[in-house]
Amino acid sequence: MIMLLCAAQYASQAQEAASRQETAAQQTPVTQKEDARSLPKAALKTNVIYDATATINLGVEFALAPKMTMDISGDLHPWVLPNGWRLTHYLVQPELRFWLKERFQGHFFAVNVLGATYNAGNIRNNFHIMGKDMSALGRYRLEGVAYGAGLGYGYAVRVAKHLNIEMEIGLGYIGAEFDAYRLGEKESLYAQNSTAQYFGPTKGALNIVYIF
């Protein structure tokens, strides 16, 4: 009789344990889904570095997965600066981001591409960038297109419920095709269908981000 009572009690305990495990298994996916739904889904941003150079810019970013987002930024500089420098350009740079913790927070790595049109010249300087003499921009105006690809690393800090500060740097390749015009009292075509290639920094951002 005692053996039967013990067996019955054991069976009852085993059934309760199995029921608890089944309930936990059913609740866990729901909790994970709720956590994913609580993460930000999109963001609008502006790069204060470009703002400081009077470049109109806007970025949008939207979620693809709990740790993956797509960022698309656009820059427009349509005017000549008061000192006569011409830096007019339009640039678009889509970027796929992989977040280490969760999207829109902490460290991330990125892969990006870019496309641009530009009209630059009359920039008198003695600069050398990555071993290239930039003083020619004081004697010539370059008009053409650019394209490229690169890798990026960044970090985002949450400073308020809907506000992030985001920093990023990117390295990669840029190819350019352009016509060169000699500056002077009468501008003249100097070289047509010229090309140039560049390896080095391709992105620098200090973004103020509004997240949804």
Which tens digit of pLDDT belongs to each residue from 94-144? Answer: 999 999 999 999 999 999 999 999 999 888 877 766 666 777 788 899 999
Between CA 94 and CA 73 the distance in angstroms is 6
pTM over 0.95: no
Give me the chain's average pLDDT, please: 85
CA angle, 106 then 199 then 197, to 5°: 140
pLDDT tens sequence across 59-84: 999 999 999 999 999 999 998 888 88
- Average of per-residue pLDDT across 21-41: 59
pLDDT, mean of residues 12-38: 53
pLDDT band at 5 (very low <50, low <70, confident <90, very high): very low
Tokens 């029921």 belong to 19
**Would you say residue 1 has pLDDT above 70?**
no
